[in-house]
Amino acid sequence: MTTKYFTISALLFVSSASWAQRNAGFHVKSPDGQLDLTVQTGATLTWAVQHAGTPILTPSALSLTLAGGEVLGHNAVVTSVKTEAVNTVIAAPVYKKREVADQYNQLTLNLKGDYGLVLRAYNDGVAYRFFT
């Protein structure tokens, strides 16, 4: 009887761990903490943005179709994650200011299939880009 319960418990644990990986959620916040960008992996890659807890962008599909027909963002499986905080200055010789602050938090997701997604959260906006 205990072997039966152990087997059932083990199967439930393995299946829930597998489901959690397929539907993993990742967050990156702006330097001031007001913007919160969330990415969910799984059958469809989605992203959402909140400002001070108020939804700005509800979960929306995120994909890129390449010329050969390959679709980046479908059945996304994360192989590694990297976070980075950047606070630099960019020279702007033809702008009203000589220098522009470049401050953001970045989340890089490397995905199975030799591609990835970079997400940035600035104090006044968010950005993303796929890379191969």
The per-residue pLDDT for 23 is: 64
The pLDDT tens digits for 92-118 are: 999 899 999 999 999 999 999 999 999
Q: For the domain with range 24-131, which CATH number is right: 3.40.50.2300, 3.40.50.150, 3.50.30.60, 2.70.98.10?
A: 2.70.98.10
The per-residue pLDDT for 116 is: 97
The per-residue pLDDT for 24 is: 82
Name the residue ranges covered by the structural domains of the chain: 24-131
The per-residue pLDDT for 3 is: 52
Average pLDDT value over all residues in the chain: 88
- Alpha carbon of 12 to those of 5, 8, 17, 18: distances in Å? 11, 6, 8, 10
Q: What is the mean pLDDT of residues 69-79?
A: 95
Strands (E), the chain: 25-29, 35-40, 46-51, 54-61, 64-65, 71-72, 78-91, 99-111, 115-122, 125-131
What is the β-pairing status of strands 64-65 and 54-61?
Answer: unpaired
Q: Name the pTM for this structure.
A: 0.78
The pLDDT tens digits for 10-30 are: 444 444 344 444 568 999 999
Nearest-angstrom CA–CA distance, 8 and 14: 10
